[in-house]
Chain A
């Protein structure tokens, strides 16, 4: 097994502002968290031997939420405090997302830590509706008059739902547009949640890079919720601890895929290890450079990647088909990129490049040629998708 030490140096250290204004001498013993082997100009040496990665092909995502339900029914349907959680969620983009407006809330490395909000459940994550089933259905008999089934709380823009703006989209008919964006914890290479947790309850596993919250040591302080710019850590008010995607590690340990991937009936996902150059995730990310990170400018180095969505061309005012994809490149370039330091133009260029590659390879196969890329994107066998 190759042993790769990921060395992460933080060029944006100064943004983080964790140095106290007070004299460091007086509070010197506060800094015990910083590893003695590393200078105060913090960089981290991580003993991450392998890093699991996942690629989502947005051209195959059908928005069916089977991934979300596969996750929900395995990990987050046990107590009332989990009902609002979707460790795996699918959102319509453009849209407010889940939790509402998460893209505007910020995280530990890309926002003023004092102003990062904590979204509330009903207004932010969406109300997990409860219903008056027993009154209406009376499956055990009874003699009240039949009322109507209604959700509580009453749905409104305040009592939001996690998928409130499903299939709403933007644009003007017939040039309307939208796509589906599945999201899990990115199991970042530099996870801000790890840094945000004062109790050092969050850690990254050396054998697969999965980021976990130690549920026994977590005190539910929710710094991690603020810390994650993707808002992929949830607070369980019943258990009074924070919880997050565990990448189905009990299954990964059995060399089975995570549920959101294996249960993906659209077959849009691949998993594998970053250093496995034979893996399809390696080929999609590193070789074909077809898969991008969601908001790499958040500086967390996500290990979940996306193949950006093609879209049917728009119509001109005179009803002519144009050459422009209806999802504006501008929107996609603002969402996806390779690294945190790419600028907008570079990202937009990459987007067009990827679309060109996709079209060229499609055309090649359509006219009888072979394409390694297309074979991967089709992935005829499940073994092509799960390489763990």
Chain B
């Protein structure tokens, strides 16, 4: 597996356009035609109470592919995880989780869950949940699962195999509600990723590792 050095990289991710039906399947031929970008998650957040603190550098790499057909957009995320954490059936167990965050109304929002006047749209996946959640955030501690049914239109594929999590998230490109960002061909969105390893010192909530803003171009 190539080890990309991201220092000085453009942090650019391209959503490739393939004008064909695409299946929610890692084996769909569309993926073979889509370049992979490595996103480095190196901002370590530790949470004590509501206070979040960056705790130095760590580098968790997410292999990202994005593809769309003009109607639906697919995000593929892969990362290494030696032991998956999928159940939370006891106090000390936390599930692996992943989130992608995009500014909702403005182009720029604070990376920490946005702000009240600069909200963000988050798609949050957790290994033990039935489906990813559409979330809007207006700052730390404010995130809220979108209450409307339309925003629950996100489908996903998840699989852990041989030390690798594969997560594919898909939804219609056009927003189903005001609580979602619309993906329009030609546009560029800021995109930040977050990852939680449930088995690593109970990562959950603010105890996580996140990326800097990336730039997602919709071809």
Direct contact of A and B (CB under 8 A): yes
Residues on A lying within 8 angstroms of B by beta carbon are 17-18, 20-22, 26-27, 29-33, 108, 113, 117-121, 124, 195-200, 217, 219-223, 225, 227, 235, 237, 240
Q: CB of B90 within 8 A of chain A?
A: yes
Segment with Cβ contacts to A, from B27-35, B73-81, B140-148: B140-148
What are 21 A-B pairs at a CB distance below 8 A? Answer: A17-B48, A18-B48, A18-B49, A22-B53, A29-B115, A30-B51, A30-B140, A32-B141, A108-B49, A113-B48, A119-B91, A120-B91, A124-B91, A199-B205, A200-B50, A219-B204, A220-B88, A223-B49, A235-B91, A237-B89, A240-B128
Interchain CB contact under 8 A, B51 and A33: yes
Interchain CB contact under 8 A, A198 and B91: no
Q: Within the assembled complex, what's the spacing in Å between the Cα atoms of A22 and B129? A: 35
Q: Within the assembled complex, what's the spacing in Å between the Cα atoms of A31 and B112? A: 11
What 0/1 pattern do residues 98 to 135 of B give for CB contact below 8 A with A? 00000000000010100100000000000011000000
Interchain residue pairs A-B with the least CB separation, the first 4: A33-B50, A221-B205, A20-B53, A118-B91
Q: CB of B164 within 8 A of chain A?
A: no
Q: Within the assembled complex, what's the spacing in Å between the Cα atoms of A18 and B49? A: 8
Interchain CB contact under 8 A, B54 and A198: no
Determine which of B88, B141, B205 lies in contact with A237 in the assembled complex, contact meaning CB atoms within 8 Å. Answer: B88
Q: CB of B206 within 8 A of chain A?
A: yes
Interchain CB contact under 8 A, B91 and A197: no
Interchain CB contact under 8 A, A121 and B90: yes
Interchain CB contact under 8 A, A199 and B51: no
Q: Within the assembled complex, what's the spacing in Å between the Cα atoms of A18 and B206? A: 14
Q: How far is the CB of B108 from the nearest CB of chain A, in Å?
A: 13
Q: How far is the CB of B46 from the nearest CB of chain A, in Å?
A: 9
Q: Name the CB-closest residue of B to A227.
A: B49
Q: Within the assembled complex, what's the spacing in Å between the Cα atoms of A11 and B206? A: 27
Q: Report chain B residues within 8 Å CB of A240.
A: 88, 128-129
Interchain CB contact under 8 A, A33 and B141: yes
Q: How far is the CB of A333 from the nearest CB of chain B, in Å?
A: 31
Q: Report chain A residues within 8 Å CB of B202.
A: 118, 222
What interface size band does chain B fall in?
Answer: 20 to 34
Q: Report chain A residues within 8 Å CB of B204.
A: 219-222
Interchain CB contact under 8 A, A120 and B51: no
Q: How far is the CB of B58 from the nearest CB of chain A, in Å?
A: 15
Q: Report chain B residues within 8 Å CB of A120.
A: 90-92
What 0/1 pattern do residues 18 to 54 of B give for CB contact below 8 A with A? 0000000000000000000000000000011111111
Interface positions, chain B 50-92, Cβ under 8 Å from A, are 50-54, 88-92
Q: A20-B51, A108-B49 are in contact. Are A32 and B140 (CB under 8 A)?
A: yes
Q: CB of B139 within 8 A of chain A?
A: yes
Q: A195-B49, A200-B50 are in contact. Are A219 and B91 (CB under 8 A)?
A: no
Q: Within the assembled complex, what's the spacing in Å between the Cα atoms of A199 and B80? A: 28
Q: How far is the CB of A303 from the nearest CB of chain B, in Å?
A: 21
Interface positions, chain B 120-176, Cβ under 8 Å from A, are 128-129, 139-141, 143-144
Q: A29-B110, A33-B140, A198-B205 are in contact. Are A237 and B90 (CB under 8 A)?
A: yes
Q: Report chain B residues within 8 Å CB of A108.
A: 49
Q: Name the CB-closest residue of B to A27.
A: B54
Q: Within the assembled complex, what's the spacing in Å between the Cα atoms of A21 and B48? A: 13
Determine which of A18, A21, A22, A29 lies in contact with B112 in the assembled complex, contact meaning CB atoms within 8 Å. Answer: A29
Q: Report chain A residues within 8 Å CB of B112.
A: 29-30
Q: Report chain B residues within 8 Å CB of A198.
A: 47, 49-50, 52, 140-141, 205-206
Q: Name the CB-closest residue of A to B140.
A: A32
Interchain CB contact under 8 A, A27 and B49: no
Given contacts A22-B53, A124-B91, A219-B205, 13 further A-B contacts (CB under 8 A): A18-B48, A18-B49, A18-B51, A27-B52, A27-B53, A32-B141, A119-B91, A120-B92, A121-B91, A199-B141, A200-B50, A235-B91, A240-B129
Q: Report chain B residues within 8 Å CB of A235.
A: 91
Q: Report chain B residues within 8 Å CB of A237.
A: 88-91, 93
Interchain CB contact under 8 A, A199 and B143: yes
Q: Within the assembled complex, what's the spacing in Å between the Cα atoms of A30 and B104? A: 20
Q: Name the CB-closest residue of B to A192.
A: B49
Q: Name the CB-closest residue of A to B89.
A: A237
Determine which of A26, A32, A124, A196 lies in contact with B49 in the assembled complex, contact meaning CB atoms within 8 Å. Answer: A196
Q: Within the assembled complex, what's the spacing in Å between the Cα atoms of A121 and B91? A: 7
Q: Report chain A residues within 8 Å CB of B128.
A: 240
